Amino acid sequence: MRRRADMTTETRCWVDGAARADGDFPIENLPWGVAERPDRQGEPRIFVAIGDSALDMAECAGFGMLAGLAPRIEAALRMPTLNGLMALDAADWTAARAHVTALLTNGAHSIEKHARRDAVLIARASLKMQVPAAIGDYTDFYASEFHATNVGSMFRPNQPLMPNWKYLPVGYHGRASSIVVDGTPVVRPHGQTSATDEGPPTFGPSKLLDHELEMGFFFGGAGNAMGNRISVAEAAKHLFGCVILNDWSARDVQKWEYQPLGPFTAKNFCSTVSPWVVTLDALRPYCIPGPSRKEGDPAMLDYLRWDNDFVVDVTLEVLLASAAMRAAGTAPTRVSIGSFKDVYWTMSQMLAHHTSTGCNMRPGDLLASGTISGPAKENRGCMLERTWRGTEPITLADGTERRFLQDGDELTIRGWCERPGLPRIGFGECRGVIMPAR
Ligand code: MN
């Protein structure tokens, strides 16, 4: 267990595992989540991940440990979802984070020696994590030029990107009811598929089940009244935090059904999110001015242009293990690795465009980036691209080949931020095992 040498006295966190150099949850991260603890089944509460533990906010409130926070913040932290906290503003989120930092470090507000310390600090592994917010609406974008170009060139070799693509962040309204948390099994969907673009189709289990490596981000702050826009500069104040998102997709169903209105049942059966919401406060040190534009790219329209706009350098890794590999204890095979910084459209631009009509957003709404791919083959964020429509299969550690996902496969996405001189902060995992069609 290596300890970082750069810890100052004021920020030294006394929780086990918090200073591990390869951990996801040091004191600089402090992501929010919702979980049931083993002794309070059926009673979801807000937690903060720290090292190998998690801090129970309702329990902290009960023991007076949140004294000093504004009553509206304490009330929000006692709720069974993050929607109340998300509905506050960025200054309140920062205040809540500072208070939790003070509890877990060596200063005057430390709870290290508190008599009820063991009642509020729970082993993280014992928690049953939940989807962290009641998600009213979910929207999925298509923000990676590499992904859009790869997929476009398979189906439209002469015109991979549609004429609108570099002018607006393309997206579609997705399904909130089937968003599940890390670890939830994914049942192979049924659907209509057709061997040719003309039909006729047959109905049955999808044969081309895929993952999509994405970042999700939650809307926070006061929602805009219907009819009012959120500017691209204001949008950043509404970014509560990020999660990993896997937009499971049935490619054979998608190919037949998507015209002319876009994805429907090929994507409505399940989307998985990682349980811990990493805040913009935590991600700020890993933000980079952006988005990058190449010579020849069209100028952004004014409502999408903001001089201080940014992307976040989150490394994202996709791992795949067959049922046989898991039974044998074999480590999963890495399918791809990329970064959220490689997107063409930023989170602020996606949100500004979403509201450009006056569409009203509400705290807890979830937006997602679309598949994140990068310039190299190993950066391709879904099987469709990674195996180039199945023509370049991947060989797993057990010797079997994959073009798309098979029953029993476990797909895991991990995400983390690293930068010289700064601690690593991570997102935890976003996993799902494919179950046979029912
Ligand atoms: Mn998607």
| Residue 156: band (very low, low, confident or very high) from pLDDT cuts 50, 70, 90 | confident
- Two structure tokens written together for 264: 């429907």
Helix/strand/coil for 384? helix
For 49-89, write each residue's pLDDT tens digit: 999 999 999 999 999 999 999 999 999 999 999 999 999 99
| Residue 165: band (very low, low, confident or very high) from pLDDT cuts 50, 70, 90 | very high
Contacts of 99 (CB under 8 A, 6+ apart): 66, 68, 69, 73, 109
Q: Which helix (H) or strand (E) holds 56?
A: strand 53-56
CB 341 within 8 A of CB 369: no
Q: Which helix (H) or strand (E) holds 172?
A: strand 171-173
- Of the candidates 436, 433, 382, the residue with the CA atom closest to the CA atom of residue 410: 433
Residue 88 CA to ligand 1 center (angstroms) comes to 29
Residue 269 CA to ligand 1 center (angstroms) comes to 12
Contacts of 64 (CB under 8 A, 6+ apart): none
Residue 159 CA to ligand 1 center (angstroms) comes to 21
- Two structure tokens written together for 287: 């933000």
Say which DSSP state 67 is in.
B
- Tell me, what's the pLDDT at 7? 47
Surrounding residues of ion ligand 1, Cβ less than 5 A: 140, 212, 247, 370
Please name every residue paired with 13 in a beta bridge, in sequence order, or none if there are none.
105
- CA atoms of 362 and 30, how far apart (whole Å): 24
| Residue 10: band (very low, low, confident or very high) from pLDDT cuts 50, 70, 90 | low
- Of the candidates 217, 178, 218, the residue with the CA atom closest to the CA atom of residue 85: 218
Residue 380 CA to ligand 1 center (angstroms) comes to 13
DSSP 242-282: EEEEE--EEHHHHHHH-TTT--STTTSS-EEE-S-BEEHHH
CB 186 within 8 A of CB 433: yes
- Of the candidates 25, 21, 24, the residue with the CA atom closest to the CA atom of residue 6: 21
- Two structure tokens written together for 231: 């500017």
- CA atoms of 174 and 240, how far apart (whole Å): 20
Examine the residue annotation and report whether 190 is marked as an active-site residue of this protein: no
Residue 413 CA to ligand 1 center (angstroms) comes to 14
Residue 85 CA to ligand 1 center (angstroms) comes to 27
Residue 317 CA to ligand 1 center (angstroms) comes to 16
Nearest 5°: CA angle at 132, between 131 and 133?
A: 100
For 306-333, write each residue's pLDDT tens digit: 999 999 999 999 999 999 999 999 999 9
- Tell me, what's the pLDDT at 21? 87
Residue type, 388: W
Q: Which of 147, 211, 238, 353 is catalytic?
A: 147
Residue 54 CA to ligand 1 center (angstroms) comes to 31
DSSP 293-360: --TTPPPPPGGG--TT-EEE--EEEEEEE-HHHHHHTPPPEEEEEEEGGG-SS-HHHHHHHHTTT-PP
Residue 371 CA to ligand 1 center (angstroms) comes to 5
Residue 231 CA to ligand 1 center (angstroms) comes to 24
Residue 140 CA to ligand 1 center (angstroms) comes to 6
pLDDT (average), residues 284-288? 98
pLDDT (average), residues 31-54? 98
- CA atoms of 159 and 153, how far apart (whole Å): 7
Helix/strand/coil for 235? helix
Say which DSSP state 126 is in.
G
- Two structure tokens written together for 248: 């499971």
Measured CA to CA in angstroms, residue 169 lies from 7, 54, 139, 356, 357 at distances of: 41, 37, 12, 12, 14
Scanning the structure block, which residue is given the tokens 């809307």? 219
Q: Are strands 32-36 and 333-339 parallel, antiparallel or unpaired?
A: unpaired
The yes-or-no verdict on residue 5 having pLDDT over 60 is: no
pLDDT (average), residues 113-129? 97
Q: Could you tell me what percentage of the chain is helix, strand and coil, using 3-state DSSP and rounding each to the nearest 5?
A: 25, 30, 50
For 249-276, write each residue's pLDDT tens digit: 999 999 999 999 999 999 999 999 999 9
Residue 343 CA to ligand 1 center (angstroms) comes to 13
- CA atoms of 76 and 363, how far apart (whole Å): 13
**What is the average pLDDT score of the chain?**
96
Please name every residue paired with 430 in a beta bridge, in sequence order, or none if there are none.
413
Residue 335 CA to ligand 1 center (angstroms) comes to 17
